[in-house]
Amino acid sequence: MDLAIANYGTNNVGIMFGASNGTFAKQSTLLTGLNSHPYSLVAGHLNEDTNLDIAVTTYGDNSVGILLGHGNGTLVTPMTYSLGAASPYSIGIGDFNNDNRMDLVVTNNGTDNIALLVGHGNGTFASPKLYSTGSSSSISIVIGDLNSDNRSDIAFINNDTSTIGIMLAYDEFFPIQTTYSTGTSPYSVAVGDFNNDAHLDIVVTNAKDNNISVIIGYGNGSFANQKTYSTGGGPFSEAVCDFNNDNRLDIVVANYYDNTISILLGHGNGSFSNQKTYSTGTYPNSVAVGDFNHDAHQDIVVTNTNDNTIGVFLNYENGFFADQTTYSTGTTPVSVAVGDFNNDTQLDIVIANLDDNTVSVLLGYGNGSFANQTTYATGSIPIYIAVADVNNDTHLDIIVVNQKENTASVLLGYGNGSFSSQTTYSTGSTPSTVAVSDFNNDTQLDIVVANVGDNTVSILLGYDNGSFANQTTYLTGSYPIAVAVGDFNNDTRPDIVVANFNGNT
């Protein structure tokens, strides 16, 4: 066995050949560049010629150097790949996409990410792909099959946060975003099959354009260009449902500045009729749907943020709606969700109250009316809410993200309409929305959170008792304000769509 050493101070890689008696020859060196400061290295077969090669991180010039071996102990002059502003620490080697070619992964100091360099099998590599770690000091890495799926996964140490991060590999490396244009300041996102082709499509509210973008999916994970439809002023939230029982999905939008909701009936071919509007309270911010009076027609509930109320709109048979009936909430209701919290087959409502640091639960009577609220404490600035059974006890639970504390709260449901005290989990910076799905196919529900403060989404994998693992973060576009989940490429795995407010994507 021989030794290879990264010599930080002398800007070279040293090779010491081993003798049969356990001693080593004096090192021979190969320069890595002036002030390059090599920090970490790894040996492996990078060009499939049976000769060992070396990949080295050069901390001083923010790059990775590739030194191909001749098989006689000599190496070629390094070929370098820039990591931009990142200062690389540790490096690992593995086949992350099952193409029988070695790839490289590098931890980067100061840029909150790791870099993946995909190998071409000839000693060259694709440009680095960056994945967020949520840490500015990820200093060490190890590679192995952590979930027994025959793919190489990554574990890394986050020195500044005293955590380890896990990134699980998929068929095409790790999840990385593909962007599609929207209107200006996309604010909310939802999914549905709008043209009845069995492929999921996307709808986005564009807050500054006063319209929605409908983006039709091809079923392979790619999408057509947007088509826009006018709404009221400041469309902040949308929900998707069949309001007129024609087996075609329709859209409802909450228009914050107009104090209205818009109903856009779907034609079943991906296009929609012009909006019909209904008056709400002041500053409607969030909308959800459900059949609140058991008439087989979907009704609407909207938060009236400035009035501290919700408005319930009961649906007539043809997709037209009665005027709202209002119910009191906490202070500044900003998000609403629907579910049966007491197992009486009647739909109930839960609201996140921004300025009270509470959620309100209003139990439904099944005739379209609701009981007075019961409140439960959350973290500071609860901004968005979701419901799901996260502990597999057949009772719905509540998940809310707390924007000021950078946490998600989980309130487990008892099945009688009451809930436990919150348990909190760390998210990224300034979480804005939350969604729930099973991202690792273990039949346990997981959580995804969009974090506007650090341009990431957080994945918190769920255990079967309603608790969650520490977050793993992934980079998004600028200011990811909304997130939704769906299977966009028909591979039976849930995918994620994010609305990037500042990126118009």
- pLDDT tens-digit series, residues 403-426: 999 999 999 999 999 999 999 999
- Where helices occur in 268-353 by DSSP H, the ranges are none
Q: What is the mean pLDDT of residues 198-220?
A: 92
What pLDDT score does 175 carry?
53
- The pLDDT, as a whole number, for residue 259 is 98
Q: Which 3 state secondary structure label does DSSP give 482?
A: strand
Cα separation of the two ends of the chain: 52
Q: Which of 476, 473, 470 is nearest to 505 (CA)?
A: 476
The residues spanned by each domain of the chain are 3-167, 186-500
* Segment 215-250, tens digit of pLDDT: 999 988 888 999 999 999 999 999 999 999 999 999
Q: How confident is the model at residue 451 (pLDDT cuts 50, 70, 90)?
A: very high
Is residue 184's pLDDT more than 60? yes
Name which residue leads in pLDDT, 216 or 114: 216
The whole-number average pLDDT for the span 436-457 is 92
Q: What is the per-residue pLDDT for 94?
A: 86
Check residue 470 and report its DSSP letter: P
* Beta pairing, strands 276-279 & 284-290: unpaired
Percentage with pLDDT > 90 across the chain: 54
Beta bridge partners of 215: 202
Cβ(251)–Cβ(211) below 8 Å: no
Average the pLDDT over each of 165-169, 275-279, 289-293, 351-355 and give the range with the smallest value. 165-169
**331 or 189, greater pLDDT:** 331
Model confidence at 172, pLDDT cuts 50, 70, 90, reads: very low
DSSP 236-282: EEEEEE-SSSSSS-EEEEEETTTTEEEEE-B-SSS-BPPPEEEE-SS
Q: How far apart are CA 255 and CA 303, in angstroms?
A: 11
Residue 100 has pLDDT above 90, yes or no: no
| Angstrom distance (rounded) from CA 314 to CA 433 | 27
| Tokens, residue 479 | 């200011």
56 phi-psi bin (left φ>0, alpha ψ -120 to 50, beta other): beta
Please give the mean pLDDT across all residues of the chain: 89
The per-residue pLDDT for range 43-95, each reduced to its tens digit, is 888 887 888 888 888 888 988 888 888 877 777 777 888 888 878 888 889 88
**141 bridge partner residues:** 156
Residue 468 has pLDDT above 80, yes or no: yes
**Which residue in the block uniquely carries the two structure tokens 């190998």?**
119
Q: What DSSP assignment string belongs to 79-105?
A: EEEE-TT-EEEEEEEE-SSSSSS-EEE
What are the counts of helices (DSSP H) followed by strands (DSSP E) for the chain?
A: 0, 40
CATH number for 3-167 (one of 3.40.50.450, 3.30.70.1060, 1.20.1250.20, 2.130.10.130): it is 2.130.10.130
Burial of residue 457, with CB atoms counted within 10 A of its CB: 0-12 exposed, 13-18 middle, 19 or more buried:
buried
Q: Dig out the tokens for 167 from the structure.
A: 């990134």
Please, which pLDDT band fits residue 319 given cuts at 50, 70 and 90?
Answer: confident
3-state secondary structure 405-464: CCEEEEECECCCCCECCCEEEECCCCEEEEEEECCCCCCCCEEEEEECCCCEEEEECECC
pLDDT score of 323 more than 50 = yes
Q: Which fold has domain 186-500?
A: Methylamine Dehydrogenase; Chain H (2.130.10)
Question: Residues 6 or more apart from 289 whose CB is under 8 A from it?
Answer: 239, 241, 252, 298, 299, 300, 301, 338
Same fold, 3-167 and 186-500: yes
429/163: higher pLDDT: 429
pLDDT of residue 315: 96
Is residue 171 over pLDDT 70?
Answer: no
